[in-house]
Amino acid sequence: MDPLQAHIRQHLETYLEDLKRLLRQPSVAATGEGVEACAALVAELFAQAGAQVEVLRAPGAAPLVVADFPGPGRTLLFYDHYDVQPPDPLEEWVTPPFEPTVRDGKLYARGAADNKGDLVSRLAAVRALVAVRGGLPCRVRFLVEGEEEIGSVHFERYVREHRDHLAADACIWEFGARDMKERLHLSAGVKGICYLELAIEATSRDLHSSLGAIVEGAAMKMVWALASLKDPQTGRVRVPGFYDRVRPPSPQELEAVRRLPFEEEDLKRLYGVERFIAGKTGADAQYDLYFMPTCTVCGLESGYRGPGSKTVLPRRARAKVDFRMVPDQDPEEIARLVQEHFAAQGFPEMQVQLLGGERAYRSPIDHPFVQLAARVAGEATGRQVLLQPTSAGTGPMYPLGTTLGIPIVSLGTSYWDARGHSPNEHIRLSDWEETIGLMARLLERFGEEAW
Amino acid sequence: MDPLQAHIRQHLETYLEDLKRLLRQPSVAATGEGVEACAALVAELFAQAGAQVEVLRAPGAAPLVVADFPGPGRTLLFYDHYDVQPPDPLEEWVTPPFEPTVRDGKLYARGAADNKGDLVSRLAAVRALVAVRGGLPCRVRFLVEGEEEIGSVHFERYVREHRDHLAADACIWEFGARDMKERLHLSAGVKGICYLELAIEATSRDLHSSLGAIVEGAAMKMVWALASLKDPQTGRVRVPGFYDRVRPPSPQELEAVRRLPFEEEDLKRLYGVERFIAGKTGADAQYDLYFMPTCTVCGLESGYRGPGSKTVLPRRARAKVDFRMVPDQDPEEIARLVQEHFAAQGFPEMQVQLLGGERAYRSPIDHPFVQLAARVAGEATGRQVLLQPTSAGTGPMYPLGTTLGIPIVSLGTSYWDARGHSPNEHIRLSDWEETIGLMARLLERFGEEAW
């Protein structure tokens, strides 16, 4: 066995103690519980490993931890976050969410997969390299934020204000999973998001539904307005201008997606659907998944929702709608277009509030760093690697990537059943050990290769 | 002062004690709380007043109280109910809902207006007539059910099984209000109702909303399905066959509605709307209110409804929809047509459950009894009387009217701000005294006039 791998195996319990310490510390961004204490603990873990640590602060924001490990030549940046999703429903956890527990080679705790496991695997790789090789092959910088689970509210501001301090040559992003066929997924980008809260008030109060002969209620108005957002046959968003800025995929991106497997029938079984939107199949559905923006009604509420019947003409209706966006769509512009669309459809009274907006980001998939990460991931793990030009999901890559002007690729420790955001979140310890080795190897190769 | 009126004024406190006793007894049909005890108390009040009382029972049903007062000639039937709406939200009551309290000449309690106040005013009229005139001018029968607030579930069965026992020549229905201009409303009919619970399940579980690129969620499907029910421009229901059985109003009904005032701007201010459905005004809007069926979304629920954002593609969506129906529409047929419509619109998976159905009923508005009731109401109160061919609301008139083959008209003790179904339900005691006198006068005239 390679001495580096041997060292990692030998010291796995030590690294695991770091991870368990971090997992025992709640850090729920949505409620603020433990966020300050967790930032302090992250800073302490890095300092103990020999990093120079700075904790950046902005008014009303969770602390941003920046940790630097010295090394020659170029700088590799790791983006991680120390905050986690709320742990509820608590009763569905087999062991308590903030008491990390190993069962059957798996480590259970809130944050194990998203994203404390990643964070500590990367720190462990640094520790192993320093111990075995006597130093790092490049400079390594960690950027660990505390608001990822609530839309990275202050992240862009931090990045812009500290751009010189954060400079790097490339970045490894926070997530990355092994799929049901044990292939390793890397993403060179993310979709953006425009998350809207909609509200409509139709009458001065709830009315008796017998008045429905002459007065229209809020529920029906909301239904008509929402129905107008998307064509049920084609799945196309009907908001004028919505697709105007959609940047078509590059030939390289298109080719990368064509190379990706798409196990259509498996997916349909998993999701419990008989067909995909607009009846699309194969390459067409796959194209939409990676390259097209979406429109999803995430929540809906009006009138009486208890058991049995209540004959009410509801005063108010509310809805939550998200649009996953592709480059170069702008969340604020989309919010405005939606508002204008509702007015044109006869619902000028619809209140549209932008709850969260992030832009999409894609690194050039043929960038030498992206290709290097994919190659090393395959060599270090022996796994088949699927390199996606973008994830279908969202993260704050845009402010970092555009401000620093660097390529970013996502690569991590998770797997298909890790249950991030859900009860019994966990990682497989074998994946975790594998990822530590993979990250150490990537740092070495990053130090060797130029572009 | 007329001796009958004088007697009523003198004994008002005694009658009020009966009403307070009844109001102190909870009788919530939705939960069953106090229903049996209230039926027993109603039977006791009637027996104490000299009636022959029978408490009818059917499996799983609330008791139906039938009380007979002897008298010559024809029989006048009163339909009332002893059950009430749930009292919550309790914190909005100034005094507790089941502790009847008089403030500023008003009697506050759950059921004061709907419909225990009516019930006891009618009993008081009988007591006054017996005391002053030495007997009743006609036979009087009370029919007091205990399930009106949950859709009179077993009422039709009771009526059919006991049709001979319930026989009468005419019926006074449970409600009737003084409007904001202190005019007295009578209704010779009610609309029917078809109340549906809709549910759709789109996927095997809640999914991450990034999958919205290829998988449609339940919320959007529900929205499309509901939007297809009604044309937003015209307000017309788009379910094929929905209007097939709509019976146009008779010339008499049409003329009666033309005579009714329609204070359009006052109503718009009260409801807080700028326009009625389809921009209708005046006689057109009034026609719809009385003669056209409705379609109202009463409740809507899907996905995430808490604060902030959650990016979920919801597995399930539910909705409650009511249709107010006119003669000769059939609730079961409407439910079937709606189900077929959803299937034709591309939502065959929509589950449609009929939570409650009642048919519309209209007595001939020119029937001598209906005309008599309206005339006596005006004479006895000095009020302007508005005789409507039908209420825009619903009640179980159909089974009673068709089974017994009698005219029915609604006339009661309530007023425009009585807050039935709401916190601080109350009646004005002056209205109540007036209604006792009116009912006594009506019984006398009913005994005198033939048709």
Question: Does residue A256 sit within a domain?
Answer: no
* Interface with chain A: mutation pick from B296, B313, B414, highest number of A CBs within 10 Å: B296
Shortest CA distance from B286: residue in chain A: A214
Q: Which of A304, A317, A322 sits opposite B311 (nearest CB)?
A: A322
The whole-angstrom distance between residue B193's C-alpha and the CA centroid of its chain comes to 11
Q: Which of A215, A301, A311 sits opposite B322 (nearest CB)?
A: A311
From B316, B341, B358, give the residue that closes a domain: B358
Amino acid at B111: G
Residues of B in contact with A193 (CB under 8 A): 311
8 A C-beta contact, residue A66 and residue A75 = no
Within this chain, do residues A47 and A125 fall inside the same structural domain, yes or no?
yes
Q: Give the integer Cα–Cα distance in Å for B234 and B15.
A: 51
The alpha carbon dihedral of A305, A309, A315, A319 has a sign of positive
* Interface with chain B: mutation pick from A211, A281, A284, A297, highest number of B CBs within 10 Å: A297
Phi, psi dihedral angles at B277 (to 5 degrees): -55, 135
Mean pLDDT for A261-276 is 95
Instruction: Look at residue B253 in the predicted model and tell me its pLDDT.
Output: 97
| CB atoms B305 and A300 under 8 Å | yes
| CB atoms B214 and A285 under 8 Å | yes
Q: Give the integer Cα–Cα distance in Å for B346 and B343.
A: 5
Phi, psi dihedral angles at B228 (to 5 degrees): -75, -10
Instruction: Look at residue A4 in the predicted model and tell me its pLDDT.
Output: 95
Strands B184-187 and B385-388 come out as: parallel
Give the residues across from B142 on adjacent strands.
B67, B78
Q: Give the integer Cα–Cα distance in Å for A137 and A200.
A: 58
Within this chain, do residues A333 and A399 fall inside the same structural domain, yes or no?
no
Q: Which two tokens stand for residue A221?
A: 């108005």
Within this chain, do residues B303 and B202 fall inside the same structural domain, yes or no?
yes
Within this chain, do residues B227 and B108 fall inside the same structural domain, yes or no?
no
Strands B189-190 and B361-362 come out as: antiparallel
pLDDT reading at A151 higher than 90: no
Q: Assess B265–A contact: CB distance below 8 Å, yes or no.
A: no
Triad A71, A73, A78: Cα angle to 5°: 65
Per-residue confidence in pLDDT tens, chain B, 451 aa? 789 999 999 999 999 999 999 999 999 998 999 999 999 999 999 999 999 999 999 999 999 999 999 999 999 999 999 999 989 889 999 999 999 999 999 999 999 999 999 999 999 999 999 999 999 999 999 999 999 988 898 999 999 999 998 999 999 999 999 999 999 999 999 999 999 999 999 999 899 999 999 999 999 999 999 999 999 999 999 999 999 999 999 999 999 999 999 999 999 999 999 999 999 999 999 999 999 999 999 999 999 998 888 889 999 999 999 999 999 999 999 999 999 999 999 999 999 999 989 999 999 999 999 999 999 999 999 999 999 999 999 999 999 999 999 999 999 999 999 998 889 999 999 999 999 999 999 999 999 987 7
Instruction: Look at residue A84 in the predicted model and tell me its pLDDT.
Output: 95
Within this chain, do residues B145 and B233 fall inside the same structural domain, yes or no?
no
Question: Does residue B265 sit within a domain?
Answer: no
Q: Which two tokens stand for residue B131?
A: 């005391």
From B317, B335, B358, give the residue that closes a domain: B358
SS (H, E, C) chain A: CCHHHHHHHHCHHHHHHHHHHHHHCCCECCCCECHHHHHHHHHHHHHHCCCEEEEECCCCCCCEEEEEECCCCCEEEEEEECCECCCCCHHHCCCCCCCCEEECCEEECCCHHHHHHHHHHHHHHHHHHHHHHCCCCCEEEEEEECCHHHCCCCHHHHHHHCHHHHCCCEEEECCCEECCCCCEEEECEEEEEEEEEEEEECCCCCEEHHHHHCCCCHHHHHHHHHHCCECCCCCCECCCCCCCCCCCCCHHHHHHHHHCCCCHHHHHHHHCCCCCHHHCCHHHHHHHHHHCCCCEEEEEEEECCCCCCCCEECCEEEEEEEEEECCCCCHHHHHHHHHHHHHHCCCCCCEEEEEEEECCEECCCCCHHHHHHHHHHHHHHCCCEEEECCCCCECCHHHHHHHHCCCEEECCCEECCCCCCCCCCEEEHHHHHHHHHHHHHHHHHHHHCCC
Shortest CA distance from B394: residue in chain A: A210
From B358, B378, B398, give the residue that closes a domain: B358
Q: Which of B203, B227, B299 sits opposite A227 (nearest CB)?
A: B227
Q: Give the integer Cα–Cα distance in Å for A357 and A321.
A: 12
* Interface with chain B: mutation pick from A114, A198, A209, highest number of B CBs within 10 Å: A209
Question: Does residue B262 sit within a domain?
Answer: no
Question: Does residue A285 sit within a domain?
Answer: no
8 A C-beta contact, residue B18 and residue B450 = no
Within this chain, do residues B352 and B368 fall inside the same structural domain, yes or no?
no
Q: Any idea what DSSP says for residue B448?
A: H
Strands B426-428 and B106-108 come out as: antiparallel
Within this chain, do residues B164 and B236 fall inside the same structural domain, yes or no?
no
8 A C-beta contact, residue B415 and residue B429 = no
Shortest CA distance from B203: residue in chain A: A272
Residues of A in contact with B277 (CB under 8 A): 213-216
8 A C-beta contact, residue B341 and residue B198 = no
Shortest CA distance from A289: residue in chain B: B213
Instruction: Look at residue A39 in the predicted model and tell me its pLDDT.
Output: 98
* A26, A30, A36, A42: CA torsion to nearest 10: 60
Characterize B249-280 residue by residue with b for buried, 16 or more Cβ atoms within 10 angstroms of its Cβ, and e for exposed: beeebbebbeeeeeeeeebbeebebeebbbeb
Q: Give the integer Cα–Cα distance in Å for A393 and A383.
A: 23
Interface TM-score (ipTM) > 0.85: yes
Within this chain, do residues A307 and A435 fall inside the same structural domain, yes or no?
no
| CB atoms B277 and A230 under 8 Å | no
Within this chain, do residues A113 and A219 fall inside the same structural domain, yes or no?
no
How many residues in chain A? 451
Amino acid at B274: E
Q: Give the integer Cα–Cα distance in Å for B401 and B386.
A: 22
The model's pLDDT over B211-257, given as tens digits with 9 standing for 90+, comes to 999 999 999 999 999 999 999 999 999 999 999 999 999 999 999 99
Q: Any idea what DSSP says for residue B113?
A: I
The CATH number given to whatever domain includes residue B316 is 3.30.70.360
Q: Report the SS3 class of residue B237.
A: strand
Within this chain, do residues A348 and A364 fall inside the same structural domain, yes or no?
no
Q: Assess A175–B contact: CB distance below 8 Å, yes or no.
A: no
Within this chain, do residues A334 and A432 fall inside the same structural domain, yes or no?
no
Q: What distance, in Å, lies between the first and last C-alpha atoms of chain B?
A: 30
Q: Which domain holds residue A320?
A: 192-246+292-358
In chain A, the number of structural domains is 2
Q: Which residue has the tokens 């310490």?
A: A21
Question: Does residue B271 sit within a domain?
Answer: no
Within this chain, do residues A95 and A217 fall inside the same structural domain, yes or no?
no
Q: Give the integer Cα–Cα distance in Å for B279 and A178.
A: 58
**To the nearest whole percent, how much of chain A has pLDDT over 90?**
92
What is the pLDDT of chain A when averaged over all its residues? 96
Other CB atoms within a 10 A radius of the CB of residue B306 amount to: 9
Question: Does residue B220 sit within a domain?
Answer: yes
Instruction: Look at residue B66 in the predicted model and tell me its pLDDT.
Output: 97
Phi, psi dihedral angles at A187 (to 5 degrees): -125, 130
Q: Assess B246–A contact: CB distance below 8 Å, yes or no.
A: no
Instruction: Look at residue A377 in the predicted model and tell me its pLDDT.
Output: 98
8 A C-beta contact, residue A320 and residue A299 = yes
Question: Does residue B270 sit within a domain?
Answer: no
Phi, psi dihedral angles at B170 (to 5 degrees): -165, 165
Q: Give the integer Cα–Cα distance in Å for A343 and A348.
A: 4
CA gyration radius, chain B:
24
With a CB cutoff of 8 Å and minimum separation 6, the contacts of B68 are B51, B52, B53, B139, B140, B141, B142
The CATH number given to whatever domain includes residue A428 is 3.40.630.10
Q: Give the integer Cα–Cα distance in Å for B203 and B206.
A: 7
Q: Which residue has the tokens 């809805």?
A: A319
pLDDT reading at A382 higher than 90: yes
Q: Assess A195–B contact: CB distance below 8 Å, yes or no.
A: yes
Other CB atoms within a 10 A radius of the CB of residue B302 amount to: 28
Q: Give A186 to chain B, closest Cα distance, Å.
A: 17
Question: Does residue A264 sit within a domain?
Answer: no
Q: Which two tokens stand for residue A41?
A: 């603990």
Triad A327, A329, A335: Cα angle to 5°: 155
Q: Assess B370–A contact: CB distance below 8 Å, yes or no.
A: no
Q: Assess B240–A contact: CB distance below 8 Å, yes or no.
A: no
